[in-house]
Chain A
Amino acid sequence: MKHILKLAMSILLILIFTAGCDTDELHNLNINPNAVTEIDMNFFMTTAILGMASAGPLVDNRNTDYTNLGFAGHAIQHFAGTGTSAGDKYFEENISNVWQYFYRDSPKYAAEIIKQTGPGGIYEGKQVNTRSAARIIRPFWMHRLTDFYGNIPYSEAHRGIEGIYQPKYDKQKDIYIDCLKELDEACAAFNASDMDYPNFAKADFLFHGDVEKWKKFGYSLMLRLAMRVSNVDPGLAANYVTKAVAGGTMAGNGDNAWAQMAMGPYNWVNQNGLSRSLWPGDGGLWSSNLFSKTFIDILKGSDPSSTADDDPRLYIFTQGPIKWSATDLGVILEPDPLKWIGLPVGYDASMINNEYGGGNPVTPYEHFCAINTKMLRIDAPYLLMYAAESEFLKAEAILRNIGTVPGTAQSHYEAGVRLAMQMYTPLDPSFTVTDARVDTYLSQYPYDEANALEQIGTQLWISKFLMWWDSWSDWRRTGYPVLVEVNYPGNATGGKIPRKFLYPPAEAAGNPNFADGATKPDKMTTRVWWDGGSD
């Protein structure tokens, strides 16, 4: 009896214990105590804006700007180097950084905002301004991506959570049509009296909730996109050029989009990735990105023996050759600007030695102009969009008779030059260019109707300093300025400046939609649709 009692008690104990095999307690273990199921989309807005300035929280912010600087900055010949790369000497390279990191950063957060503030979303019908800003940010990135690669996933991109794991490819033309439509709708929808406005204003560190500035950003971007397709689809271009101009593009440098960066807390995330890419204190590559002869020659004006005819931006962009280390922050090696020279494009070290050292070794940074260290504070604001571009595009639209643009080509061109020269003060107060100095420049290099397209293209090219990605697209479209093409042994393009990035091998191999949807052939010489390629 005693044993039976013990047995019964033991079994009872086990039953009590095992009764709870599948319990709430077990299920609750899988609730992440550090995550939520709903979040204010304005928190995503901050992330999306930060991601516009190189990369956001995903990755070292230099990764994307290495492409901006190392590929595009060299391809359009603001910079030159002695190495062999895709941008510099057209060696074959898979430039997948921007694909990997852009798709997974800013436009992804913008897409989530658009989804959650759209039909069926948590904030459907709310957070109107946050939604509109997101609908500007997404085209801002997606047009860049399609400019780089050609056809890309767009309509099905960023829908992984819905189960679309291998998105289909959209034609560049369709992407442009949709981006322009999105910009149009977004700009129209901004509403400063929306209930959620204060939260948006707080999260928006780009314009601090100034919806008028967002609209100007949106219309400026619309103008850029419209002009980009102008060679291949004049009707689409005209329609949106007219809309953009009527809507109101960035009018002054006060409208420019500068994303404020910070020293911390994390240098990979909060600092200016472009500055970091060059800043020697953080392993930056300033000495392999010296100014090209092409760029310096243009900035030095028509008379190399005079400084009077120089472009004032020469003295913003460079201080001549410098010695720069973590402790010697930009010691000026050559104070006389007349002796400043740029590094010829397409040269390797031995060619430099031959030409500049009489066969003896030459230290390139001691001879050629480097970027001005004042431009590269690591918490410097990051330039995303600026007014001068819109003025140049308007001048071009008038000249080419695209859409309805008030004013004259000359007035817009001159306004563009003025804005472009005067826009760098947020980087350093010493970068002030007076109106008088601009007037002098304009009188030295007057607007010339006959060569206006080249003048506009060249000014646009200079003004895209810091945004070489976009400059590369401008150059592919306009052909201005005429750049030096080099045919270095072993290059992959037959001596032609690349016109397209190669798709990342992982995407080509992994996405079954690649075969039918991507822009082919996948070569650096293939032209994208707006560049005259097939749609």
Chain B
Amino acid sequence: MNKKEVYQILKRTLLMLICVVFSHSLPAQQHVVSGSVRDVNGAGLPGVSILVKGTTVGTITDAQGRYSISAGSDATLQFSFIGYVTQEVAVGNRSVIDMILEEDIQQLGEVVVTALGIERSQKALQSSITKVPGVGLTTARENSLGNAMQGRVAGVNISRSQTGVAGSSRVIIRGNKSLGGSNQPLYVIDGVPMDNTQFGQVGLWGGTDQGDGLTSLNPDDIESITVLKGAAAAALYGSRGGYGVINITTKRGTQRKGIGMEFNSNYVFEKVYRLDDLQEEYGPGGLKLDPANPSGPRIFSKPASQLEAWNWGNGSMWGPKYDGSMVYQFDGVQRPYSFAGDNWERFYKTGTSWTNSFAVTGGGERQTFRFSFSDLKDTYIIPLQGFNRKNLSLTTNGKFGKRFTFNAKVMYSNEKTKNRSLLNDSPANVPYAIWGLARNVNVMDLYGDPNKPGAVPVGTITPDLKKPGEEFSQASSQFTQNPWWAAYQMTNQNIRERFITSGELRYNIFDWLYVQGRVGMDYYTRNSNILVPQGTGYLRNGSKDHTTSFVKELNLEWIIGADKTIGNINVNAFMGANKMTHESETMDVLGQVFNIPFFPSITNTNQKNIFYGYTKTGINSLFGSVEIGYKRFLYITATGRNDWFSVLNPLSNNKFYPSLGGSFVFTDAFKGLPEFLNFGKLRAAWGQVATANVGAYSIQPTYMLYGGGHLGLPMGIYSFGDLIPNPNLKPALSSEIEFGTDLKLFGGRVGFEFTYYTQRTTNDILAATVSQTTGFNSTSINIGELTNHGYEILLSGTPVQGTVTWDVSLNIAHNKNKVVELAPGIDRVFIDEPRTRAAGVYHLKGYPYGMILGFVQKTDPATGKKVYDAQGRPVRSDVYEILGNGVAKFTGGLSNTLTWKSFALDFLIDYKFGGDLYSGTEVNLTNWGLHKQTLAYREGGMPVEGVIQTGTDSNGNPVYEPFSKTLNQEETRNYWSYVTSYAQERFVYDASFIKLRQIQLEYRLPQKLLTKTPFTNGSISAVGRNLWILYRNTDNIDPESTYTSGSAQGVEQFAMPTTRSYGFNLRVTF
């Protein structure tokens, strides 16, 4: 049975299920009751369970605290919520029942899922933990969970890589803590870690973003997300929680009568958000001798032949002003020498994304279940690019006898990503080709063969003598792609099939003592193929690559725990052990040179080369935690964990790390506090986490054989690539202290949370750049040290309450990072460089993580004037100078909810300040004469004033003299060429931005409309994401532009254009 058939069957089953429910007739006396549940401060309470007393019929409130349930007029509704006094109300004839729940001082406060999935009272928490309800992520959607969280949590800095559909995102909690590590948090689903391997980034030579693990998740399955920020909070997750933990709680079935269903449909359009603003006055061309003055300087000239047009076909807008005369183009056809109109509009299409999710829940006293299915179909702005995802999940929770409980879960996802874009460098880079195209050319004229977009049509002779069916190149550089060819012919595909499964069994030995065992597995296979078709400029014989891999992570865990109250003292303690293994295997077959013309199968290739990779690593751990509470206002918690790492030398492979913290609810401890102070807590925590950022098999030198050998002879190589092994590595240690307070004021209408933290990583493991004369590029060393200090503020309030209610919350985070130590004698570590190769990202001792360095125009230290050469061109600095830092210092968001009757308006504004962006796009646009800044003095007359070096003094220091010159056309062209090669400070922008990230207007269908339908609740919303950049300092690009979610932040070049999306969401339950 193939996949298609499986889905067919699945679809039929679901349809049948829907029919069964629809035909289910409700008892005549039953009617629908709806309303909202709020706390005494008027804030909606999500997750309140509402039960028809004496039955198993129940529901829970949504994120705004709203609910609806069907009940008889004689029924009594029971509202219960942990931490609040349970209330009962007789229904009578009412169809709307609004309820206010009071906090139960006898009970603990709101519970939060913390380490290992253990629920703890919020009052007892010593470190900052932020909870994001799942509903906020489902109405207006993103394909990746990472992007969806942007701006929502103080202290979480999310960078979306602009790499097209299903790209990866960089999620940094409280700053970068490791020089060499990923710095990405650990994602945990219901207590089981998930693999978030990034399978490939766009780099110096281009390539695709192969996505990360976060695209596998169905947002409709997410009940809530808890972000554990501090080391103390994450300590129990072990080393992989060292960069923070994102804890995902999925939805479960609830005890109810019959079967409950939810259906959600979301349809959005995706369009390019135009930021490009290029010159439209001068056409393609170059410098030629002036026929009127052949011995004089050269002048800008139009293409005089097909060959010249082809030579200037991409990125050479250095011709004269458009004059409408007929000139040759790349295809030998003469067309007017004038701006050909908007090629972006012609090429980029409107993408669409359609998600349908369906869930069934049910259960009785002993067991509940939830089954969900979701289907996402996304087509992107580039033809043929798309992302399809199907998710299935089944969760069940049960209780056997008095003392056994269990839960089990299977989540399956099938992700198919088509034609991820190659970015940055030019090969197969569609945005590059569109940006650089000569602007007197209509991109439709590049379409070529109508049956094979981008191919040479029959009858056209190209300067590179390509045959019909081969790539129709617009430019002489064989690395410049025809955008249609890149989109339609240079195809690639990934399919990931993933199972995340877990099972948990708990036995309550006594009421206060339990043992629990848990097994979790994340297993997936990935199949990728990449086609470079025959006839492609830079690889004319073509190639096809197939990669198959699997990743398996297995976690086995035992816990024994106790929870006992004696008098005023409550003790909650547990200890346990975890054994993690992570295994991956990759088989890659690269076939080259097709035999049968234009038949793109790997079986049709002449040469095949095989690459094989395998790694397995493991971590064994022991851990424990003791929390002591006194009178429910004073809590002390201590934890400890010891990890043993397989990747390290057994002599130094383990580390014990503790945490200690306390919280004090002073509003509960003291009487007689001012009345406006409803709740107040002080908290402090200290914690450590050990990490071991070391790949498998990289502590001792070993040898292996290379691929296919040569002439049948085996070729010996080192097995460790370019990273010299180091047997003396030990775990790095991150220590963090945080202090904070949580306050609720004025009847809860104002909330305030503040946290200050200071963090230090020592013995950080980093790949230190070594001289290539060693024969290698780098080695892992254990000497790095870096610090992060910062604060987080969350201000929330309800300024307006009544018919119209306005809830607002503002989060602000500031992080200051410093690289304290790299290694003796090393003051910088290379991370990556952009394609311009005139700048790079480095860790620089004494500066924040990831500094952007590059050549700048030299300055005379005495006068501060810029240095020029005799031709009036900028002279570059001797070495790379500091240009900026790509990591924003301030991040946050402002979220608003306005409700009025059945309407709710949500909008989220987010911002980042204090980061820089080096734009390779702007460098190229300037060098190509497309940037508007190249318009001034283009026809000559540019004044240049500065100094020129005339010699050196006796100490060898340069001697400068004043210099001025008026540049002619040729000199102006050369001036810009040198600016773009050397004066890189001209291309560094303040990357600060404020964006309207999300807006949604929801209309809840009135109950009277729904009573005649099987639906119990319904809403329809207009949604939009990434709609508007309210503030930016960049010219032609989005300040968030980047092609990587890796460590090299703050550089970009020809990433995908920014997009905005808008559409509709429909949600019904029945």
Please report A residues at the B interface, Cβ cutoff 8 Å: 3, 6-7, 10-11, 13-14, 17-18, 20-23, 25-27, 29-41, 43-44, 46-47, 50, 56-57, 99-100, 103-104, 107-109, 111-112, 152-153, 156-161, 164-167, 202-203, 205, 260, 262-267, 269-270, 280-283, 323, 325-328, 349-351, 353-354, 359-361, 363, 489-490, 504-512
Contacts and interface: CB of A to CB of B under 8 A. Distances in A.
B618 interface: yes
B935 interface: no
Contacts of A269: 609, 706-708, 710
B772 A21 contact: no
A165 B715 contact: no
A33 B711 contact: no
A57 B617 contact: no
Interface stretch (B71-79, B111-119, B429-437, B640-648): B640-648
B388 to A, nearest CB: 33
A284 to B, nearest CB: 9
A54 B307 CA distance: 33
B774 A164 contact: yes
Interface stretch (B225-233, B462-470, B753-761): B462-470
B617 A10 contact: no
Interface stretch (B283-291, B332-340, B368-376): B283-291
B706 A32 contact: no
Given A31-B697, A57-B706, A360-B305, A21 B880 contact: no
Contact of A505 (B515, B724, B880): B880
25 contacts: A11-B560, A18-B622, A23-B620, A29-B616, A31-B697, A32-B697, A39-B716, A47-B715, A56-B715, A99-B772, A108-B775, A109-B716, A159-B774, A166-B771, A260-B711, A262-B711, A266-B607, A267-B592, A267-B607, A326-B541, A327-B467, A350-B286, A350-B298, A363-B307, A506-B769
Contacts of A99: 772-773
Contacts of A490: 871, 873, 974
A512 B714 contact: no
A57 B307 CA distance: 38
Contact of A282 (B540, B620, B644, B718): B540
A205 B713 contact: yes
Nearest to B427: A283
A280 B719 CA distance: 34
A264 B712 CA distance: 10
Given A14-B558, A22-B650, A264 B770 contact: no
Contacts of A363: 307, 463
B722 interface: yes
B711 A29 contact: no
A37 B607 contact: no
A100 B777 CA distance: 9
Interface in B864-885: 871, 873, 879-880
A43 B606 contact: no
A264 B606 contact: yes
Q: Which of B715, B768, B880 has the most CB of A within 10 A?
A: B715
Interface size band for B: 35 or more
Contact of A160 (B509, B515, B711, B770): B770
B717 interface: yes
B646 A27 contact: yes
Nearest to B299: A350
A53 to B, nearest CB: 10
Contact of A205 (B311, B653, B711, B772): B711
Contacts of B620: 20-23, 26
Contacts of A203: 713
Interface in B714-740: 714-719, 722, 724-725
A167 B773 contact: yes
A13 B590 CA distance: 49
B717 A47 contact: yes
Nearest to B538: A283
Interface string B639-679: 00010101110100110000000000000000000000000
Contacts of A38: 703
B569 interface: no
Contact of A266 (B590, B711, B771): B590
Given A18-B577, A21-B577, A266-B707, A166 B825 contact: yes
Contacts of B773: 99, 103, 152-153, 156-158, 167, 507, 511
Give me the 3 closest cross-chain CB pairs, A-B, nearest first. A160-B774, A43-B716, A264-B607
Contact of B609 (A7, A29, A153, A266): A266
B604 interface: no
Given A33-B614, A283-B478, A7 B509 contact: yes
A361 B305 contact: yes
Contacts of B707: 57, 265-266, 269
Interface string B288-305: 110100100010010011
A103 B607 contact: no
A191 B405 CA distance: 77
Contact of B713 (A202, A267, A489): A202
A31 B590 CA distance: 28
A475 B331 CA distance: 44
A270 B710 contact: yes
Nearest to B974: A490
Contact of A328 (B465, B714, B770): B465
B770 A165 contact: yes
Given A166-B825, A327-B467, A46 B714 contact: yes
Q: Which of B648, B703, B725, B771 has its CB near the most chain A CB atoms (within 10 A)? A: B771
Contacts of A25: 618
Q: Name which of A3, A11, A13, A27 has the most chain B CB atoms within 10 A of its CB.
A: A27
Nearest to B710: A50
A165 B774 contact: yes
A14 B470 CA distance: 66
B541 A282 contact: yes
A152 B774 CA distance: 12
Given A13-B558, A160-B724, A506 B772 contact: yes
A156 B770 CA distance: 13
A152 B576 CA distance: 57
B700 interface: yes
B609 A265 contact: yes
Contact of A35 (B470, B540, B647, B719): B719
B830 interface: yes
B702 A326 contact: no
B464 A36 contact: no
A47 B294 contact: no
B703 A6 contact: no
B668 to A, nearest CB: 35
Contacts of A328: 465
Contact of A265 (B560, B608, B644): B608
B304 A361 contact: yes
Given A36-B704, A167-B774, A46 B577 contact: no
A50 B712 CA distance: 13
A490 B470 CA distance: 38
B204 interface: no
Contacts of B18: none
A100 B703 CA distance: 21
Given A262-B710, A506-B830, A30 B697 contact: yes
B25 to A, nearest CB: 49
Interface in B272-288: 286-288
A89 to B, nearest CB: 13
A20 B577 CA distance: 10
A56 B718 CA distance: 13
A194 B880 CA distance: 54
Given A22-B650, A264-B607, A283-B538, A325 B704 contact: no
Given A46-B714, A350-B288, A490-B871, A265 B705 contact: no
B22 interface: no
A57 B609 CA distance: 12
Contacts of B513: 7
Interface in B894-927: none
B775 A29 contact: no
